[in-house]
């Protein structure tokens, strides 16, 4: 694993859930051709992964990792393109991009490091923060209900929808591996406790359980995704031609 | 002696006045005339009043005159609006099934179309067929043009045109003037073709008038990848995705969409990822008047994006320049790894010109990594240009980033390395400015010894050229706007003591740019009602 880790200074908080996601990603790509992988990140705690991992990466703008990834994939379909993005990154700032990427079935993998808050700007609510979230901009609690990313992605047309839990590294690595191999838009929500501002380890350890999926039935997948308990695993998978399969056909006619 | 004709063809949106205008232009073009078409239309799909003004001349033209030789009226509104522009009121060809006049050439377009089993929309064909007869064209010649212009329902259209042709009379005969026939293209098409000539691999855009034509045109080009994004932010970022793996891409938009790309422009500068944007200006601010012209995005384009960085900005003045300078914009963006912006304006984007392209390559090439040692994306070099490698290369790990970074591409926050990388880019910008100063940045036309000069840029070049000739004065046309071509500009200004700016804006933005460089205009002639300058209007200026 060492060859995939750069000798740079890691500035994630000790105990941060990002460390597990980093390990899981390295495990998932360890046996793949490194030169054919590109990691694209947005901005936020998650995005620091670009400074730590020894593979091609593009450390982009807040919320805009996905459109960069689309250009990369359409320009060279032989590359595996992975986006590391955050809940604030892709479900606040860049929500239009993730919905359209799911709708198009772009052949890219999006990993959402979901820590339920804007951590790097010191604890503000994001669109996945629970109602009542007390942050620096909502001292009396957020008055907004959260988005359920799994529900939104299934509804938007993603063809691979999964959830992982950061500390369950092997389980997550396996999901990332399958997501990369999937031909189409792969979405992984990673439940990632934020040790500094929203420490959910104890709660998640109680509620998280492994679901043995996937189903190709949207209704079933939505039922699982909206449970109060926290199932993790691949919820939904469907085979259909990706955006790039159809787009690049024009060029070979 | 200049031989020329101006024809207005108009009607409500949906009646096909634009198509008819194009066919009339082709009729003249085939006889060796140089063409310019001004398109005037509203932001609606059906109804209202649209018209094309076709100017055909023995000289190169890129502007319109107020008086016209013919009006072709698809509806009554066209007749009531444009009849007063006719030099001879009898030279109106009109749809007599819709209204009647006591003069002119009536064409029973509805009746003719029905007789020949055509659709309602084909009434424009009847009027064009009648026009061919009015100007004394040989039927076989006209038929050849129609055949080419109507790839669908060809026979029906030709029958309609022929019936109308037969039922009309000849008022004058236009002579053939040359065997040389130039292709007719819009500024959008020429810009797209120039980019293709510089090796464009992909185009990503969100529709916005007046740049949509580039997206539509490139969508049917086989060899490149084109898709429509969810918004302009996505388009600009996707272009950089292509660039990052070594594919040449471009996007196009207008002022509002360009505003959404500001952050991406800064990302291009910081990550040293080529980004080429076409900004087809239109009347602002904000939504403004979407289908009418303006040159008021100049200062926005020159300063768009947070932070300190350089960009290449060109403003072609006609289709030939659009072709050459869009290619150059790509080549420069790739050699110097920075944002490159092509400013057009509505009348250039959608106006049609006779073209004579120079397909020669610029010879400006990017620096590529030779595969030795560890790859450093932001390697410090003598000229500040770091050689490019792309993902997929076994020997390189390529790190692009929006953060300030070290040579490998890892975020830095310490003062030494921040300054070091800023200095590396400054070095690159110096080389970039040097190379740009060697390019053709400023054109000079007209009487080069005149103490009075007009300065004009973008589509205004066309009308300014005729004004300069008519008044025997000098015309200075800057094409490269950033880095500002100070040496070339001062050379062009030698001996000039009266400098008049012509601009389609309310404040005269070029005058502000000039004054930043120590050059002051004596007078500003501005038009800001969305319409173009006419030659008649400008030759009255002293």
Q: What percent of chain B has pLDDT over 70?
A: 100
* Cα→Cα distances B160→B104, B117, B164, Å: 20, 9, 6
Cα–Cα dist B325/B87, whole Å:
38
Digit-coded pLDDT (tens) for B325-353: 999 999 999 999 999 999 999 999 999 99
Across B87-224, the runs of DSSP E, i.e. the strands, are 92-95, 105-107, 184-186, 202-205
> Are A74 and B225 in contact (CB < 8 Å)?
yes
CA distance A142 to A125: 7
Span B77-90, pLDDT tens digits: 999 999 999 999 99
Looking at residue A177, which CATH number applies to its domain?
A: 3.40.50.970
Could you tell me the two tokens for B147?
A: 């055949």
Structure tokens at A109: 């993998």
CB pair distance less than 8 Å for B401 and A50: yes
Residue from B232, B236, B241 whose CB has the most chain A CBs within 10 Å, to mutate: B241
Q: And the tokens for B277?
A: 């944007």
Is the pLDDT confidence value at A251 over 60? Answer: no
Cite the residue boundaries of each domain of chain B with CATH code 3.40.920.10.
4-166
- Does the beta-carbon distance from A71 to B401 stay under 8 Å? no
**Contact between chains at B400 and A58 (C-beta distance less than 8 A):** yes
Distance of CA A237 to the CA centre of its chain: 16
Which of the four pLDDT bands, split at 50, 70 and 90, describes residue A1? low
Facing residue for B240 by CB, picked from A56, A68, A250: A68
Determine the Cα–Cα distance for residues B227 and B219; give it in Å rounded to an integer: 8
Write down the CATH superfamily of domain B184-354. Answer: Thiamin diphosphate (ThDP)-binding fold, Pyr/PP domains (3.40.50.970)
| Percent of chain A residues past pLDDT 70, beyond the cut | 98
Please state the rounded mean pLDDT for residues B45-63.
96
Ranges for all domains in chain B classified under CATH 3.40.50.970: 184-354
| d(C-alpha A248, C-alpha B162), whole Å | 44
- The residue segments making up the domain with residue A164 are 2-252
Rounded to an integer, what is the distance from CA B338 to the centroid of its chain?
Answer: 22
Residue A144, CA distances (Å) to A127, A192, A199, B28, B116 in order: 8, 21, 20, 65, 65
Q: Considering all CA atoms of chain B, what is the largest pairwise distance in Å, rounded to the nearest integer?
A: 85
When the pLDDT of each residue in chain B is averaged and rounded to a whole number, the result is: 97
- For residue A100, which residues of chain B lie inside 8 Å, CB to CB? 229-230, 234
Chain A: residue nearest B268 by CA? A60
**Interatomic CA distance for residues B344 and B314, integer angstroms:** 9
> Which of A7, A45, A62, A74 should we substitute to test contact with B (largest number of B Cβ atoms within 10 Å)?
A74
Interatomic CA distance for residues B166 and B220, integer angstroms? 38
CA nearest neighbour of B303 among B259, B364, B333: B259
Angstrom distance (rounded) from CA B276 to CA B238: 11
Q: Which among B219, B227, B238, B248 is the top mutation candidate for probing chain A, defined by the most A β-carbons within 10 Å of its own β-carbon? A: B238
Structural domain total, chain A:
1
Q: Report the distance separating Cα B295 and Cα B509, nearest Å.
A: 8
Please give the ipTM for the structure prediction.
Answer: 0.97
The number of beta carbons lying within 10 Å of the beta carbon of residue B223 is: 9
Q: Does the pLDDT value for residue A252 go beyond 50? A: no
Determine the pLDDT at residue B466: 97
Question: DSSP letter at B46?
Answer: S
Instruction: Tell me the mean pLDDT in the region B148-170.
Output: 97
Other CB atoms within 10 Å distance of the CB of residue B481:
22
Distances (CA, A) of B14 to B73, B130, B154: 14, 20, 19
Per-residue confidence (pLDDT) for residue A253, from 0 to 100: 41
At B198, the pLDDT band (50, 70, 90 cuts) reads: very high
B271: nearest Cα among A201, A40, A93: A40
8 A C-beta contact, residue B54 and residue B21: yes
Class of B442-538 per CATH?
Answer: alpha beta
Average pLDDT over residues A216-239: 93
With CA atoms as reference, report the closest residue to B230 among A110, A208, A101: A101
Structure-token match 């050439």, residue found: B105
B537 Cα to chain A: minimum distance (Å): 47
Taking phi over 0 as left and psi of -120 to 50 as alpha, with beta for the rest, B371 belongs to: left
What are B400-442's pLDDT values in tens digits?
A: 999 999 999 999 999 999 999 999 999 999 999 999 999 999 9
B289: DSSP letter = B
Residue A213's pLDDT band, with cuts at 50, 70 and 90, is: confident
Write down the pLDDT at residue A226: 86
Query: If we measure between CA atoms, which residue out of B60, B16, B61 comes closest to residue B38?
Result: B61
Q: Tell me if A63 sits within 8 A of A92, measured CB to CB.
A: yes
Give residues with Cβ within 8 angstroms of B163, minimum separation 6: B112, B115, B116, B126, B129
- State both tokens at A99: 């919905």
- Smallest CA–CA separation between A252 and chain B, in Å? 9
Q: Spell out the residues 6+ positions from residue B422 whose beta carbon is closer than 8 angstroms to its own.
A: B308, B404
- The contact set of A with B (CB < 8 A) is 6, 8, 34-38, 40, 43, 48, 50-51, 54-61, 64, 66-76, 78-79, 96-97, 99-100, 247-248, 250-251, 253
Name the CATH superfamily housing domain B4-166: Pyruvate-ferredoxin oxidoreductase, PFOR, domain III (3.40.920.10)
Pairing, β A117-118 against β A160-165? unpaired
> Which residue is it, tokens 């199932």?
A231
Distance of CA B336 to the CA centre of its chain: 25
Q: How far is A221 from chain B (nearest CA, A)?
A: 27
3-state secondary structure of A214: coil
The pLDDT value given to residue A250? 56
Tokens of B432: 């970039």
Cα A69 from Cα A94, distance rounded (Å): 13
Mean pLDDT for B512-536 is: 97
- pLDDT tens-place string over residues A77-93: 999 999 999 999 999 99
SS3 A44: coil
* Partner-chain contact B267 A72, CB within 8 Å: no
């Amino acid at each position: 694993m060492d060859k995939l880790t750069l000798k740079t200074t890691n500035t994630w908080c000790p105990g941060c859930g990002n460390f597990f996601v980093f390990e899981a990603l390295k495990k998932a790509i360890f046996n793949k051709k490194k030169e054919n992988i590109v990691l694209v990140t947005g901005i936020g705690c998650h995005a620091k992964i670009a400074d730590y991992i020894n593979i091609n990466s593009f450390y982009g703008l807040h919320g805009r990792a996905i459109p960069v990834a689309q250009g990369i994939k359409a320009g060279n379909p032989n590359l595996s393109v992975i986006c590391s993005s955050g809940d604030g990154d892709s479900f606040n700032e860049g929500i239009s991009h993730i919905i359209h990427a799911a709708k198009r079935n772009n052949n890219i993998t999006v990993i959402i490091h979901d820590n339920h808050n804007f951590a790097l700007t010191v604890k503000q609510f994001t669109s996945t923060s629970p109602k009542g979230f007390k942050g620096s901009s909502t001292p009396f609690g957020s008055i907004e209900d959260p988005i359920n990313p799994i529900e939104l992605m299934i509804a938007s047309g993603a063809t691979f929808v999964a959830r992982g839990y950061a500390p369950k590294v092997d389980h997550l690595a396996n999901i990332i591996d399958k997501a990369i191999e999937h031909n189409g838009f792969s979405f992984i929500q990673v439940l990632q406790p934020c040790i500094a501002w929203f420490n959910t380890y104890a709660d998640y350890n109680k509620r998280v359980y492994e679901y043995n999926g996937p189903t190709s039935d949207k209704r079933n997948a939505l039922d699982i995704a909206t449970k109060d308990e926290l199932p993790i695993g691949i919820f939904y998978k469907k085979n259909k031609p990706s955006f790039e399969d159809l787009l690049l056909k024009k060029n070979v006619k | 002696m200049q031989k020329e004709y101006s024809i207005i063809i108009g009607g409500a949106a949906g009646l096909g006045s634009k198509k008819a205008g194009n066919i009339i232009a082709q009729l003249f073009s085939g006889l060796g005339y140089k063409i310019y078409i001004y398109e005037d239309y509203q932001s609606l799909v059906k109804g209202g009043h649209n018209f094309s003004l076709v100017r055909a001349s023995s000289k190169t033209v890129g502007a319109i005159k107020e008086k016209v030789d013919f009006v072709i009226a698809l509806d009554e509104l066209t007749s009531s609006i444009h009849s007063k522009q006719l030099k001879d009121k009898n030279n109106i060809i009109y749809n007599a099934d819709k209204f009647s006049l006591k003069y002119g050439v009536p064409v029973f377009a509805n009746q003719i179309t029905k007789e020949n089993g055509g659709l309602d929309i084909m009434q424009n064909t009847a009027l064009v067929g009648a026009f061919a007869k009015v100007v004394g064209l040989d039927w076989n010649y006209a038929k050849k043009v129609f055949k080419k212009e109507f790839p669908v329902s060809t026979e029906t259209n030709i029958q309609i045109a022929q019936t109308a042709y037969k039922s009309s009379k000849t008022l004058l005969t236009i002579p053939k003037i040359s065997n040389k026939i130039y292709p007719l293209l819009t500024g959008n098409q020429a810009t797209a073709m120039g980019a293709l000539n510089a090796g464009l691999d992909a185009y990503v855009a969100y529709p916005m008038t007046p740049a949509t034509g580039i997206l539509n045109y490139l969508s049917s080009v086989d060899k490149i990848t084109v898709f429509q994004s969810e918004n302009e932010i996505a388009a600009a970022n996707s272009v950089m995705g292509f660039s990052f793996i070594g594919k040449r891409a471009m996007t196009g938009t207008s002022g509002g969409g360009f505003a959404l790309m500001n952050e991406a422009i800064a990302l291009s500068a910081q990550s040293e990822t080529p980004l080429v944007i076409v900004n087809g200006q239109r009347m602002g601010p904000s939504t403004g008047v979407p289908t009418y012209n303006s040159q008021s995005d100049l200062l926005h384009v020159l300063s768009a994006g947070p932070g300190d960085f350089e960009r290449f900005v060109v403003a072609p003045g006609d289709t030939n320049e659009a072709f050459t300078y869009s290619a150059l914009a790509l080549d420069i963006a790739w050699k110097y790894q920075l944002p490159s912006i092509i400013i057009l304006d509505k009348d250039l984007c959608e106006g049609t010109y006779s073209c004579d392209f120079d397909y020669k390559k610029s010879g400006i090439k990017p620096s590529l990594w030779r595969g030795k040692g560890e790859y450093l994306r932001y390697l410090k070099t003598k000229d500040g240009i770091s050689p490019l490698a792309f993902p997929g290369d076994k020997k390189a790990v390529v790190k692009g980033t929006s953060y300030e970074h070290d040579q490998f591409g890892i975020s830095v926050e310490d003062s030494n390395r921040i300054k070091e990388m800023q200095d590396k880019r400054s070095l690159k910008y110096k080389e970039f400015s040097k190379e740009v100063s060697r390019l053709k940045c400023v054109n000079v036309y007209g009487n080069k010894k005149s103490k009075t000069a007009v300065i004009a840029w973008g589509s205004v070049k066309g009308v300014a050229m005729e004004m300069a000739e008519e008044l025997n004065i000098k015309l200075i046309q800057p094409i490269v706007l950033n880095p500002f071509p100070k040496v070339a500009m001062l050379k062009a200004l030698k001996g000039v003591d009266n400098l008049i700016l012509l601009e389609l804006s309310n404040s005269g933005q070029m005058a502000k740019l000039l004054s930043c460089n120590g050059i002051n205009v004596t007078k500003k002639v501005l038009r800001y009602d969305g319409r173009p300058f006419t030659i008649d209007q400008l030759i009255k200026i002293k």
